């Protein structure tokens, strides 16, 4: 075997070793905190990198209604000019869950920095005055997600810790609105 052939082989092996960790790192970034969620990341300029829960305790889940379609919500979170994001979005028709911000990071969803640092935000496709968007599968999949978050962070599964956006101090929002069935939702969270 000549020297040139050996050097080519060595270079190929070295290049493979350099590329593989990067490929693994990318795959790790695509992993979601909720196993069945699809990773649809918000732009990095729409959340604050962090190391929660060591940097901030996570002790709330904030329930939102998008006032948009699922697709438009994802587009908004991926638009750096919008300055908004939530950790998850749940689609109305089939309960599909997308994760947009890793739970360790601070999503910009509550309109209150203290609550942003201490909560996971879940957006639900729909409008507060259109109950047809609050489907059985949306409630069920969202409740499973909320139960998982509560279990992982030791958050009590009650209305003191699972709150609506309108309950965040200083909020100017009304979501999830009067048509959101809190009794049903909390029952599902506790029995999922």
Asked whether the beta carbons of 24 and 124 are under 8 A apart, the reply is: no
Predicted local confidence at residue 192, as pLDDT: 78
Predicted local confidence at residue 26, as pLDDT: 35
Kindly give, in sequence order, each residue whose CB lies less than 8 Å from that of residue 4, ignoring residues fewer than 6 positions away.
none
| 17-29 CB burial, b ≥16 within 10 A, e <16 | eeeeeeeeeeeee
Predicted local confidence at residue 91, as pLDDT: 98
Q: What values do phi and psi take at 63, rounded to 5?
A: -95, 130
3-state helix, strand, coil in the chain (%, to 5): 40, 15, 45
**Mean pLDDT in consecutive groups of 10 residues from the start of the chain, 192 residues:** 41 38 40 96 98 98 98 98 98 98 98 98 98 98 98 98 98 97 98 86
Predicted local confidence at residue 18, as pLDDT: 38
User: Global pTM?
Assistant: 0.85
Asked whether the beta carbons of 34 and 145 are under 8 A apart, the reply is: yes
CA distance 74 to 71: 5
Predicted local confidence at residue 155, as pLDDT: 98
């Amino acid at each position: 075997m000549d020297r040139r052939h050996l050097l080519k082989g060595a270079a190929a092996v070295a290049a493979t070793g350099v590329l593989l960790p990067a490929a693994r790192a990318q795959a790790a970034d695509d992993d979601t905190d909720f196993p069945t969620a699809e990773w649809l990341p918000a732009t990095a300029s729409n959340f604050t990198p962090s190391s929660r829960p060591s940097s901030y305790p996570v002790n709330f889940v904030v329930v939102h209604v998008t006032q948009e379609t699922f697709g438009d919500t994802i587009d908004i979170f991926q638009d750096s000019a919008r300055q908004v994001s939530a950790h998850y979005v749940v689609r109305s028709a089939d309960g599909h869950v997308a994760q947009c911000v890793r739970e360790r990071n601070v999503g910009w969803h509550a309109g209150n920095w203290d609550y942003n640092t201490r909560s996971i935000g879940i957006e639900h496709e729909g409008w507060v005055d259109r109950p047809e968007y609050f489907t059985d599968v949306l409630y069920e999949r969202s409740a499973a997600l909320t139960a998982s978050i509560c279990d992982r962070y030791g958050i009590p599964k009650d209305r003191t810790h699972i709150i609506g956006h309108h309950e965040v101090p200083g909020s100017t929002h009304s979501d999830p609105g009067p048509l959101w069935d809190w009794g049903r939702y909390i029952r599902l969270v506790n029995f999922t």
